[in-house]
């Protein structure tokens, strides 16, 4: 879940990073008062979660309090990537001499955090990576072993920064690494961190993404930052279909049959097991299939839970058939899921043998499960059929 | 609503015995059994399909008095 800029900065401020004076405002009168309090030129920044504010005109500058109020009215209605501003941040305009980029994110391939640093800040880092790769360093570090300022120092110096600038940047970069680890973030970024004309350094813009699963762990922080429990901060608000999926999952503690995401295809998916859901979703698409949904089942959901998920998916407009596929299961029972999906089909008024394209869940209690599937005439397969092949069979039946 | 996949039959004399009924309620992890006000056993039909075939009910009652039937095998 993404933090707004002002929330990211509040987090950075707690860790002693250098920040200019700033005020979050919600009216032009507050904007004027904030500019008066700052007492000099200010920046007026729309608070949205989407990128591209500058290009959209949602970042403006003002020299006087009256101009700040005018610019507030100008910035507020601008939609950035279809998103309206939650509020506006008024900050002191800083005399920038040079801009740097620093980010910590997760490298899924290396399964380690990676520190990215560039002496070409203020622009898209993808552009720097493509056109000036020598100006971007990538440094992996451990989530287990202790980290030190040495890692930050090497990352910064490897793009040619030295002397006083290096010494002033190291603590900022090191603190960003610590924040990343401490709060289970998936992204901690400062772009730019600026060297001012007087030689000091300041954080001008920041982005933070918190791992959604870590919300519970960092509840205190979220409360302190004013982030409500109902704020999902997802790319779009959940649909009714998705909300119903979440509700079905929540009412029964047994296993998981949820994380439902809606798509506009015609093949309903009941998928899961150890990353199997992502693999199977991709496999369906690779075979030219159009998923009606993504979901995750696992942890041995009850018959009722699997039944209700099946009914939900079959009830979605446009769904013609469903595919029930998982990786090899151990703690989830094949027979229980088989009972659930067949019961769901019958309660939805559908013939399981016609509406289930394939049932590919090998593993615990599969013999018992296969007996049930045979009884109802459902096509099934064991682990000798790969997930990819099973997905192909499902798509071919549409 | 009876189960689609599972049925459970309990001998009458066991179903009337409050002590055994209590034991059956305790051992079933998926709430297939409940007790009536008079202590006798009641099978909760809507939970029958949740049966995990653990056989704890069979072990908890006198031999042969509880039978778990897999309807999909018939």
Is B53's CB within 8 Å of A375's CB?
no
Taking contacts as CB-CB distances below 8 angstroms, the residues of chain A near B53 are 335, 368
- CB-based contact A313:A291 (threshold 8 Å): no
Taking contacts as CB-CB distances below 8 angstroms, the residues of chain B near A371 are 70, 72-73
Of the pLDDT bands very low, low, confident and very high (cuts 50, 70, 90), residue A233 is: confident
Q: What pLDDT, on the 0 to 100 scale, is given for residue A258?
A: 85
Pick among A339, A346, A366, A373 to test the B interface (most B CBs inside 10 A):
A339
How close A21 comes to chain B (CA, Å)? 59
Closest CA to B14 of B58, B45, B68: B58
Label the pairing between strands A206-210 and A185-196: antiparallel
Partnered with residue A115 across adjacent β-strands are A104, A139
Q: What pLDDT, on the 0 to 100 scale, is given for residue A213?
A: 84
How close B64 comes to chain A (CA, Å)? 23
Instruction: Kindly state the DSSP code that residue A4 receives in the 8-state scheme.
Output: P
| pLDDT for residue A175 is more than 90 | yes
- CB-based contact A5:A205 (threshold 8 Å): yes
Percent of chain A with pLDDT over 90: 88
How close B15 comes to chain A (CA, Å)? 26
- CB-based contact A87:A96 (threshold 8 Å): no
Q: What pLDDT, on the 0 to 100 scale, is given for residue A153?
A: 97
Q: What pLDDT, on the 0 to 100 scale, is given for residue A286?
A: 97
Q: Give the chain A residue nearest B52 (alpha carbons).
A: A336
| pLDDT for residue A162 is more than 90 | yes
Q: Give dist(CA A344, CA A366) in Å, integer.
A: 19
Q: Which two tokens stand for residue A125?
A: 């880092």
Q: Over chain B, what is the mean pLDDT?
A: 96
Q: Which two tokens stand for residue A37?
A: 């309090």
| pLDDT for residue A128 is more than 90 | no
Q: What pLDDT, on the 0 to 100 scale, is given for residue A241?
A: 97
pTM of the model: 0.70
Partnered with residue A322 across adjacent β-strands are A268, A356
Q: What pLDDT, on the 0 to 100 scale, is given for residue A102?
A: 97
Q: A40-93: per-residue pLDDT in tens?
A: 999 999 999 988 898 899 999 999 999 999 999 999 999 998 888 999 999 999
Residue A345's CB is within 10 A of a number of other CB atoms, namely 23
Q: Over chain A, what is the mean pLDDT?
A: 95
Q: Which of B30, B50, B72 sits opposite A371 (nearest CB)?
A: B72
Q: What pLDDT, on the 0 to 100 scale, is given for residue A274?
A: 75
Is A339's CB within 8 Å of B52's CB?
no
Q: What pLDDT, on the 0 to 100 scale, is given for residue A160?
A: 94
Of the pLDDT bands very low, low, confident and very high (cuts 50, 70, 90), residue A232 is: confident
Q: What pLDDT, on the 0 to 100 scale, is given for residue A203?
A: 97
Give residues with Cβ within 8 angstroms of A394, minimum separation 6: A267, A284, A287, A289, A321, A323, A325, A357, A358
Taking contacts as CB-CB distances below 8 angstroms, the residues of chain B near A372 are 5, 72
* ipTM for the predicted complex: 0.96
Q: What pLDDT, on the 0 to 100 scale, is given for residue A127?
A: 86
Describe chain B by its helix, strand, coil percentages, rounded to 5: 40, 20, 40
Residue A159's SS3 state is: coil
First to last CA, chain A: 36
Of the pLDDT bands very low, low, confident and very high (cuts 50, 70, 90), residue A359 is: very high
Q: A117-126: per-residue pLDDT in tens?
A: 999 987 788 8
- CB-based contact A116:A103 (threshold 8 Å): yes
Query: Does the CB of A253 have a partner CB in chain B at under 8 Å?
Result: no
Q: What pLDDT, on the 0 to 100 scale, is given for residue A353?
A: 98
- CB-based contact A184:A217 (threshold 8 Å): yes
Least confident piece of the model among A66-75, A190-199, A270-279, B10-19: A270-279
Q: What pLDDT, on the 0 to 100 scale, is given for residue A229?
A: 83
Q: What pLDDT, on the 0 to 100 scale, is given for residue A141?
A: 97
Q: A302-355: per-residue pLDDT in tens?
A: 999 999 999 999 999 999 999 999 999 999 999 999 999 999 999 999 999 999
Give residues with Cβ within 8 angstroms of A196, minimum separation 6: A94, A95, A96, A97, A202
Q: Give dist(CA A139, CA A114) in Å, integer.
A: 5
Q: Give dist(CA A136, CA A172) in Å, integer.
A: 17
Task: List, as ranges, residues 27-66 from B with C-beta within 8 Å of A.
Answer: 30, 49-50, 52-53
The number of residues making up chain B comes to 74
First to last CA, chain B: 19
Q: Burial code of B53-68, b = ≥16 C-beta within 10 A, e = fewer?
A: eeebbbebbeeebbeb
Higher pLDDT, A257 or A157: A157
Tell me which H or E stretch contains A139. strand A136-140
């Amino acid at each position: 879940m993404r933090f707004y800029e002002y929330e990211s900065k509040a987090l950075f401020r707690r860790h002693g990073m250098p920040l200019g004076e700033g005020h979050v405002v919600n009216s032009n009168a507050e904007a004027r008062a904030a500019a008066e309090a700052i007492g000099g030129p200010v920046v007026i920044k729309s608070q949205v979660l989407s990128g591209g504010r500058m290009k959209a005109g949602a970042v403006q500058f003002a020299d006087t309090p009256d101009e700040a109020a005018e610019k507030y009215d100008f910035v507020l209605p601008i939609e950035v990537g279809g998103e309206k501003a939650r509020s506006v941040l008024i900050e002191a305009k800083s005399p920038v001499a040079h801009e740097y980029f620093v980010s910590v994110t997760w490298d899924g391939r290396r399964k380690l955090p990676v520190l990215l640093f560039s002496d070409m800040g203020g622009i898209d880092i993808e552009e720097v990576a493509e056109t000036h790769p020598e100006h971007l360093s990538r440094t992996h570090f451990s989530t287990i072993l202790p980290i030190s300022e040495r890692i930050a120092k090497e990352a910064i110096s490897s793009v040619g920064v030295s002397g006083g600038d290096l010494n002033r940047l190291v603590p900022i970069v090191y603190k960003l690494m610590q924040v990343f680890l401490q709060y289970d973030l998936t992204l901690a970024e400062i772009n730019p961190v600026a060297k001012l004309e007087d030689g000091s350094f300041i954080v001008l813009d920041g982005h933070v993404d918190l791992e959604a699963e870590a919300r519970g762990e960092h509840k205190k922080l979220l409360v302190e930052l004013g982030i409500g429990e109902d704020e999902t901060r997802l790319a779009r608000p959940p649909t009714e279909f998705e909300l119903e999926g979440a509700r079905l999952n929540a009412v029964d503690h047994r296993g998981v049959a949820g994380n439902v995401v809606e798509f506009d295809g015609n093949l309903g998916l009941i998928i899961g097991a150890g990353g199997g859901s992502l693999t199977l979703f991709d496999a369906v698409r690779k075979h030219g299939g159009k998923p009606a949904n993504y979901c995750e089942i696992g942890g041995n959901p009850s018959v009722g839970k699997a039944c209700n998920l099946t009914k939900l998916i079959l009830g979605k407009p446009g769904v013609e058939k469903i595919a029930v596929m998982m990786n090899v299961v151990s703690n989830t029972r094949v027979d229980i899921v088989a009972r659930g999906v067949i019961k769901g089909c019958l309660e939805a008024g559908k013939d399981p043998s016609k509406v289930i394209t394939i049932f590919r869940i090998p593993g615990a209690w599969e013999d018992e499960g296969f007996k049930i599937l045979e009884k109802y005439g459902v096509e099934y397969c064991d682990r000798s059929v790969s997930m990819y092949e099973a997905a192909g069979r499902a798509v071919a039946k549409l | 609503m009876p189960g689609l996949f599972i049925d459970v039959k309990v001998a009458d004399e066991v179903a009337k015995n409050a002590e055994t009924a209590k034991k059956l309620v305790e051992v079933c992890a998926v709430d297939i059994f409940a007790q009536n006000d008079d202590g006798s056993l009641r099978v909760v039909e809507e939970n029958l399909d949740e049966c995990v075939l653990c056989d704890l009910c069979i072990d908890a009652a006198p031999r042969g008095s509880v039978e778990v039937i897999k309807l999909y095998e018939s």
